Chain A
């Protein structure tokens, strides 16, 4: 049992660090050397699979000189668990959604972004610096952004859906042929918006109503599906799906995407630098390289997500924007959505409701 005690002791420093304010602020840039030899540093970046062009690491290395390794994670929860479970995860830059960047920053695990080392920050849309999860991009730099809406088969639905109730209280043509996202916050979103509540609500009564609505909606659903709804729509198995904009295959002429009139969210995926990183200058150089208009527009045309980079979006091939209509949404349209922020301890209530709804 001595071994167990040792392992638990190793884990303990990761516990109970709730809510400590992190870092010493951007003034700490004095500790970083703008003249550091980037060829002597090594960079490890963790990202979702398929969320950046395959040869981005090679191009970065040949441009900057820093050897780069890519680790993959499949969910925010997975990378957050990895980053919180040990003092040094070996990761320099991680890609996480905005609310998770917020949670990591609150735990003091993130290095503040030294704006002077990321000159291409000027390319970012000014609106991207005002997002609720990290105002002023103190700890995180937005990589992509988008919203959630209804992805549907124009030829099979028979009308243009424009409300979350088209999903929650489906008409006969859609009943049993609709899918909803399974990931916690987005399983809640349609009901929250249909009832006129915030996507970040922690009010118990509101959550109880959301749960009731989700339970009634379950009968009209084909499945909860985060990954294959695009294929299901193409095959006609499903005709309506709650979908993240970038995942809706609007390049298929039969498929359309709408943001319901009750409104939706604004999700942001960000890049963060770990406080434990030993290659912070290279980490900043990587973020700066991504924000370069040429790189970021190449990224957008590769993964079909909108990037909050005015210069990069201007460089996108108009033919591509035409074939992928969701790329044409403007930041102003996106900003009508509500930023998803960390829920703190209320996250437990959300988890419980998800179990009650799916097992109910």
Chain B
């Protein structure tokens, strides 16, 4: 906490500005300027051949389209898919992180490396691998028909569960890592005290470990939810074009519909929602942290 008072008080020192310079320029060029452009585009309407054309009242029209049941439906579908993915990631990630934190030191490192390992392979290749696994003549169906569990291949690929599975696989490490660091930080003396007072391990987990790791749970949930919501590769490849998420909708507005103003409105709406989510997370994190 040292230096906190100085940062909040008087003018920033020159050295501080120099150090902040690269970061601030990065933000200005790659975040603020594109964001301003995006906001600018909402004042126009779709140019017939691409690009944008000015017409009075376009802004209102562009934003009004957000309430159109068609697009609102895509937004709710995306929220549902991202929420299911996050919940599953939490259910799978918590025991994993807990188990890793109980491993002896050297094995813990190995386990953590194994969690991160998939990130070393290209995301697209990993997603394509699921096609190989899930297709009607894929590994899973061949194995199931081979051992006689089913006689006709199951329709696994190009379904919403396939999309959830792809997202879950892609982002599970983003849940495990913050959970692991939160669980690791729980003071072992608290666990001992709980045991001394007669609590069984399950009770200790529920009453001591879980409440103390809630900030980690929140962080993990946000880390998984945010990229799941915006992803468009997984719905495209594993949903076979049957499942449309808001990411696909935004991409299509820019690349095929040539409707940049509406694409901008959709992108802004998504960002506004995510900012609200992050603010809620920060607020809840502070409350939980202050316990």
Residues of A within 8 A of B (CB): 1, 3-4, 7-8, 11, 14-19, 75, 77-78, 80-81, 84-85, 103-104, 106-107, 176-177, 182-184, 218, 221-225, 235-237, 344-345, 347-348, 351-352, 354-356, 358-359
Contact = CB atoms under 8 A, between A and B. Distances in A.
A358 B249 CA distance: 10
A4 B36 contact: yes
A218 B242 contact: yes
Best-buried of B51, B70, B136 by chain A (most CB within 10 Å): B51
A84 B51 contact: yes
Interface of B: 33, 36-37, 40, 44, 46-54, 70-71, 73-74, 77, 135-137, 155, 158, 240-242, 244, 249, 252, 255-259
Contacts of A348: 46, 257, 259
A348 B70 CA distance: 14
Contact of A356 (B51, B70, B252, B255): B70
A358 B241 contact: yes
Nearest to A343: B48
B49 A223 contact: no
A104 B155 contact: no
B239 to A, nearest CB: 8
Contacts of B256: 75, 77, 183-184, 351
Nearest to B258: A77
Nearest to B256: A77
A191 to B, nearest CB: 16
Most chain A CB within a 10 A radius of its CB, from B73, B155, B158: B158
A8 B37 contact: yes
Given A78-B255, A104-B49, A359 B40 contact: no
B259 A81 contact: no
Contacts of A358: 241-242, 244
Contacts of B74: 355, 359
B289 to A, nearest CB: 37
Contact of A75 (B44, B52, B240, B255): B255
Given A18-B49, A345-B48, A359 B244 contact: yes
Contact of A18 (B48, B240, B255): B48
Given A15-B44, A77-B258, A237-B137, 20 more contacts: A4-B37, A14-B51, A17-B47, A18-B48, A18-B49, A18-B53, A80-B49, A84-B47, A103-B48, A103-B49, A222-B240, A223-B240, A223-B242, A224-B242, A237-B136, A347-B48, A347-B257, A355-B244, A355-B249, A359-B249
Given A16-B47, A16-B54, A85-B50, A3 B33 contact: yes
Nearest to A218: B242
Contact of B52 (A15, A225, A345, A352): A15
Nearest to B240: A223
A1 B51 CA distance: 21
B257 to A, nearest CB: 4
A106 B48 CA distance: 11
A16 B55 CA distance: 9
B73 A359 contact: yes
15 contacts: A4-B36, A4-B40, A8-B37, A15-B44, A16-B47, A16-B53, A18-B48, A19-B48, A84-B50, A85-B50, A103-B48, A223-B242, A347-B257, A356-B70, A359-B244
Nearest to B253: A351
A18 B51 CA distance: 11
A267 B163 CA distance: 34
B241 A4 contact: no
Given A182-B241, A225-B241, A176 B155 contact: yes
B291 to A, nearest CB: 42
A145 B263 CA distance: 33
A298 to B, nearest CB: 32
Q: Indicate the member of A81, A347, A359 with the most B CB atoms within 10 Å.
A: A359
Contacts of A15: 44, 47, 51-54
Count chain B CB atoms within 10 A of each CB in A80, A218, A236, A348 and give the residue with the most. Answer: A348
B55 to A, nearest CB: 9
A61 B115 CA distance: 52
